[in-house]
Structure 1
């Protein structure tokens, strides 16, 4: 079954890399900042679909990825999806410091992938999350 995927990334090269790797897995929607990501999740939940996977950059304009992560998890909860039953969210970011990593997991991300994102690293996470077969 095809996945419903949201890529939230303001930087065009990173967005293109993720799109190249994820497009074969299903329908991919794009958001250029955190506000657009939250709006896309809201619309998808309202339509009764939701996302299977969200790749969320941390350093984005308007609303950063960690604030978007908190908002997305709140929307899922409001729509009857308790923690662990919503989208799998992978933080894709250049930030490698312990505070960013631990903070993201504390806000209920499912995985953390430091840039530059490689196909191997991405698919290792997708397999660990049960989104693609071994």
Structure 2
């Protein structure tokens, strides 16, 4: 499985990279702009990601903007919805407004922080990624 992680917090980034690396190759970015660029590069190299984990509160481009960018790239390439990358939003913003916005923009799963490893693994299983 190819995984893209976008997380600006160093400690969380290290934790998530270590955790996700058990399930596949994990590329790490520190903001939304880098994530969209990495996603585009993977598409151009015909090695798309299977999973993208986006923090919401990041510099340069936040997770919402990155999610829109990723979904727009998929639309431009006529990638059908059933083949679209799975996106898990990882954030401390757990209020109803933020959760609803993430799903409205096309996230697959919303995971609050701190990350509960067992629940996160259940989400990966639910998505058929592990």
* Structure-2 residue corresponding to 1:18: 16
Between the aligned partners of 1:83 and 1:103, the Cα distance in structure 2 is 18
* Structure-1 residue corresponding to 2:91: 93
* Structure-2 residue corresponding to 1:62: 60
Instruction: Give the stretch that moved more between structures: 3-12 or 80-89.
Output: 80-89
* Structure-2 residue corresponding to 1:37: 35
Q: Which runs of 5+ in 2 are unaligned?
A: none
Q: Residue 8 of structure 1: CA displacement?
A: 0.3
Between the aligned partners of 1:120 and 1:72, the Cα distance in structure 2 is 27
* Structure-2 residue corresponding to 1:119: 117
* Structure-2 residue corresponding to 1:6: 4
Runs of 4+ more than 3 Å apart = none
Q: Is contact 1:45-1:79 (8 Å) kept?
A: no
Deviations 1:15-46 (A, max 9, x none): 11111111021111011000000000000000
- Please give the TM-score of this superposition, normalised by the length of structure 2: 0.97
* Structure-2 residue corresponding to 1:108: 106
How big is the alpha-carbon RMSD for the aligned residues of Structure 1 and Structure 2?
0.8
- Secondary structure class of the residue paired with 2:27: strand
Number of positions where the alignment pairs a residue of Structure 1 with one of Structure 2: 130
- Please give the TM-score of this superposition, normalised by the length of structure 1: 0.94
- Secondary structure class of the residue paired with 2:28: strand
- Secondary structure class of the residue paired with 1:25: coil
Q: Which runs of 5+ in 1 are unaligned?
A: none
